[in-house]
């Protein structure tokens, strides 16, 4: 083949164009797996508005309900506690073969996430706390907020109606109040055992939605630990119900 052969020129032009074509080809978004852990008195149902926004963006989403709550409220017994809920999440990762996931905890779910993440750290890509408790090792939720549980109680009813959680839309209020259920007291009194600090190994983020004392204090601890910090103060405590699109946008960062 001569240097000036037309077929050779076409071949060289085609080869030269390959890197250019590759460079201008739109990058495909990375697929993530999100595991969304609900707070006290809630269940997996509370992510109903957020989960479709994440799946429509091409991501996988798991919304487990912790033992004794939501559709699993018939399993509530005096023995259910924080340790049970930590095992719930660890078991989900094992049986669903979840890897490279973002573990996300709302409110009380922060206690669960803090206890579970060190045991499944090899399966995680990051951890996010949403208006959540961020405990130190050996602390229980009751160390951060008074429970006011009556003597002899082993379960706690919701502390108020939906507006207590920042939900005001009438349709959302009716939907939510039909689903809130009692929280096991042991979940609030058992101390969390965190063990090794994994902050340096994984990206951590804290999203503050209210200025409630316990969550503002948790946000400060998050900053001190080097977490990324975001605010969604217009949403109220249950941002996944009141501002799902805004919350999904933060998660997709």
- Nearest 5°: phi and psi at 54? -75, -40
Please enumerate in sequence order all residues whose Cβ is within 8 A of that of 189, keeping only pairs 6 or more positions apart, or say none: 81, 140, 141, 142, 147
Dihedral sign for Cα atoms in the order 67, 70, 75, 77? positive
Which of the residues 107, 117, 181, 234 is marked catalytic? 107
Whether 56 is catalytic: no
Nearest-CA neighbor of 244 among 40, 63, 41? 63
How would you label 85-108 residue by residue, b for 16+ Cβ within 10 Å and e otherwise? Answer: bbbbbbebbeeeebeebbbbbbbb
Distance of alpha carbon 196 from alpha carbon 56, whole angstroms: 36
Distance of alpha carbon 211 from alpha carbon 217, whole angstroms: 9
Please enumerate in sequence order all residues whose Cβ is within 8 A of that of 137, keeping only pairs 6 or more positions apart, or say none: 192, 193, 194, 195
Please enumerate in sequence order all residues whose Cβ is within 8 A of that of 164, keeping only pairs 6 or more positions apart, or say none: 158
DSSP state at residue 252 = T
Question: And the tokens for 62?
Answer: 């798991």
Catalytic residues: 107
């Amino acid at each position: 083949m001569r240097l000036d052969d037309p077929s050779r020129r076409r071949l060289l032009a085609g080869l030269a164009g390959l890197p250019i074509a590759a460079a201008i080809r739109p990058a495909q978004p990375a697929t993530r797996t999100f595991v969304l852990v609900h707070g006290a008195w809630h269940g997996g149902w509370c992510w109903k508005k957020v989960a479709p926004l994440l799946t429509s963006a091409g991501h996988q989403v798991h919304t487990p309900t912790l033992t004794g709550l939501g559709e699993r409220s018939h399993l509530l017994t005096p023995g259910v506690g924080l340790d049970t809920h930590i095992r719930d999440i660890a078991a989900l990762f094992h049986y669903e073969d979840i890897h490279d996931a973002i573990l996300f905890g709302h409110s009380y779910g922060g206690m669960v996430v803090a206890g579970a993440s060190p045991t499944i750290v090899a399966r995680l890509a990051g951890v996010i706390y949403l208006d959540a408790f961020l405990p130190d090792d050996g602390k229980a939720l009751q160390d951060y907020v008074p429970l006011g549980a009556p003597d002899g109680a082993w379960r706690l009813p919701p502390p108020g109606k939906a507006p207590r959680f920042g939900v005001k839309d009438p349709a959302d209020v009716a939907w939510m109040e039909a689903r809130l259920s009692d929280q096991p007291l042991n979940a609030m009194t058992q101390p969390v055992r965190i063990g090794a600090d994994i902050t340096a190994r994984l990206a951590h983020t804290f999203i503050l939605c209210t200025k409630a004392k316990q969550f503002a204090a948790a946000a400060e601890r998050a900053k001190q630990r080097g977490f990324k910090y975001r605010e969604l103060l217009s949403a109220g405590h249950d941002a996944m119900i009141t501002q799902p699109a805004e919350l999904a946008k933060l998660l997709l960062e």
